[in-house]
Structure 1
Amino acid sequence: MQDHRLPPFRAALLHPRFWPAWLGLSVLWLLVTLLPWRAQMALGRGLGRLSMTVLKSRVKVARRNLELALPEREKAERERLLKANFENVGCAIFETGMAWFWPHWRMRALTTMDGTEHVDAAVEKGKGMLLLSAHFLTLELNARQFGLYRPGVGVYRPNTHAVLEYAQVHGRCRSNKYLVDRLDIKGMLKALRAGDALWYAPDHDYGRHASVFVPFFAVDKAATITGTATLARVKNTVTLPCFTLREKHGYRLVIQAPLESFPVGDDETDAITGNRVIEAAIRRAPEQYMWLHRRFKTRPERGMPSRY
């Protein structure tokens, strides 16, 4: 869906310093356009395994995250999960291309939607929808697929690279309305008050500011932002958990029923509720989650040794 807030193409984007980025995007477009989906996934898994030899620092972070989050699993099992996770990282490259470049008909052909009745109910009552999501490696598809049913608004971090920012915004708005900077709280509130669906993923560690320390998986005190409850308090807004999971024959967009009695007004209680919803979704397909991020980097007390 085109929107007046989409950045216009500028001649400056053709500067030679941007040619590598345009080349990379062109190759990605070509691959996701010409190759069958299964071939893309096979190639993605191979690239993911190869990336483990290059992104050693990220492998270390992901391994540590799995150790902290899932200590009940045997080490050998976590290592298998680690390998599968990086295979999914490779697949995510192609899935980003699908989300940004595929026509609607091709995206619909691989998409199964569960829970659209919750969207219909919210629209019928004129309610804004806070889509409580998470940083799955399929996150680009999540927003694209939801937009195929009901165009919404995405919360994102602007890219400092001009060409990648141009591609990112246009790609993410292919079936949605517009994007809001993750620091633009007023813009998020405006979208919800207008009755829009707002995609929001609060599962990363954003530091101490506006955060509380509550359980997330086996980590008893994980820094968790309180923004979910802040947005959910907007009048006439429902909070719908929303995730995309890759399956054998395509993707399943999962839209869950509105959270009941949320928020309750206590930051810690509300953050625990959000974390539990996200954790339950991750446990459905832990290999598809973005374990590369240093999720548990902020310690509850300053000066405590790093978990990494």
Structure 2
Amino acid sequence: MSRLAIGLFWLLHWLPLTVLSRIGEAFGLLLYVFVVPRRKVVLINLRLCFPELSEAERRALARRHFAANGRSVLERGLAWWAGPARLRRLVRIEGLDRLQALKAAGTPVILLTPHFVGLDMAGTRLSMEGDFVSVYAPQKNKVFDRWLHHGRSRFNDQLLLARTDGVRATVKAMKSGRPLYYLPDLDYGRKESIFVPFFGVQTATITGLPRLARLAGAAVMPSVVRMLPGGGGYVLELGEPWAGYPSDDVEADTRRMNAWLEGVVRTMPEQYYWVHRRFKTRPEGEPRIY
């Protein structure tokens, strides 16, 4: 079954993006109807994060999220097989000069990259611009794992580390000139996490961003990918490096990260990765959410 799905992705990647995007949105809406457990997770997350919306508005937002997610799944075939010229047309990078200037100055860089649905497309496109390091979580499905790994490493000399490789390997890679494509906004459990607000909810958040920035002497550069409507492709926005980061207060730095992330999510809430059980780990004494 997995190989059949990969074959379908290969066939679909030949379609114009305007057609493929519509097929992906329809696929996502089917997932909304039939994948009930994940639909429930999304609706719980939206209820916690957007209490100001009505139930009908949150359900409409959930449908838009599944449509965007469906697009991202089927368009992943572009990241795996599309040629360089096509990828450059489909994914525009804004602020690349900022990243290149930091690299030229010998400054280690952390690209703070939240879990928006266009994450893999942006990562593949960015890998065409040089050698990067990222932390890769192996997938249980070996077939999909192989192709996800291929999509993230097909251009240049990418370094994919496992979380078990530890901080030292990541810092060494950054100091050698590889920017870190860093995704710290999932629930990784209680270990190495502190509870700080995210949309007003106390949320288990790893403190890796300020700690890595301090250890590597790295600049933190926001890296946000936006999926454009109507098959318009993607835009990867590389923002100005954060001033005064990290500070001497790890908790304040982690709060700053979540506050920034919340602000970006509010600009395109349908594209954030709401199918993840972001609030699974709770402070002691609090009941389970999911």
TM over 0.5: yes
1:48-127 matched pairs, under 5 angstroms: 48-127=28-107
1:281 counterpart residue number: 264
The alpha-carbon deviation at position 293 of structure 1 amounts to: 0.7
CA distance in 1, matches of 2:177, 2:260: 23
1:11 counterpart residue number: none
The alpha-carbon deviation at position 119 of structure 1 amounts to: 0.4
- CA 95–265 in structure 1, closer or farther in 2 if over 3 Å, else same: farther
Question: TM-score, normalised to structure 1's length?
Answer: 0.89
- The residue type paired with residue 97 of structure 1 is G
1:137-156 matched pairs, under 5 angstroms: 137-156=117-136
- The residue type paired with residue 161 of structure 2 is V
1:218 counterpart residue number: 200
Q: Does 1:242 align with 2:223?
A: yes
Question: What secondary structure sits across from 2:215 in the alignment?
Answer: coil
The alpha-carbon deviation at position 73 of structure 1 amounts to: 2.2
The alpha-carbon deviation at position 252 of structure 1 amounts to: 0.6
- CA 281–182 in structure 1, closer or farther in 2 if over 3 Å, else same: farther
1:6 counterpart residue number: none
Aligned 8 A contact 2:21 2:71 in 1: yes
Q: Does 1:256 align with 2:239?
A: yes
Q: Does 1:24 align with 2:5?
A: yes
| Paired-residue identity, % | 37
- The residue type paired with residue 218 of structure 1 is G
1:187 counterpart residue number: 169
The alpha-carbon deviation at position 83 of structure 1 amounts to: 0.6
CA offsets 1:151-170 (integer angstroms, 9 cap, x no match): 31221201233332222211
Aligned 8 A contact 2:133 2:159 in 1: yes
CA distance in 1, matches of 2:287, 2:41: 15
Question: What secondary structure sits across from 1:223 in the alignment?
Answer: strand
The alpha-carbon deviation at position 50 of structure 1 amounts to: 0.7
CA distance in 1, matches of 2:137, 2:216: 26
CA offsets 1:201-251 (integer angstroms, 9 cap, x no match): 1111111101111011121x1110011112111334111110210113221
- The residue type paired with residue 242 of structure 1 is S
Aligned 8 A contact 1:212 1:267 in 2: no
Which blocks of at least 5 consecutive residues in structure 2 are unaligned? none
Question: What secondary structure sits across from 1:45 in the alignment?
Answer: helix
Aligned residue pairs total 286
Aligned 8 A contact 2:127 2:152 in 1: no
Q: Does 1:227 align with 2:208?
A: yes
The alpha-carbon deviation at position 130 of structure 1 amounts to: 0.7
CA distance in 2, matches of 1:88, 1:277: 22
Aligned 8 A contact 1:157 1:181 in 2: yes
Aligned 8 A contact 2:32 2:66 in 1: yes
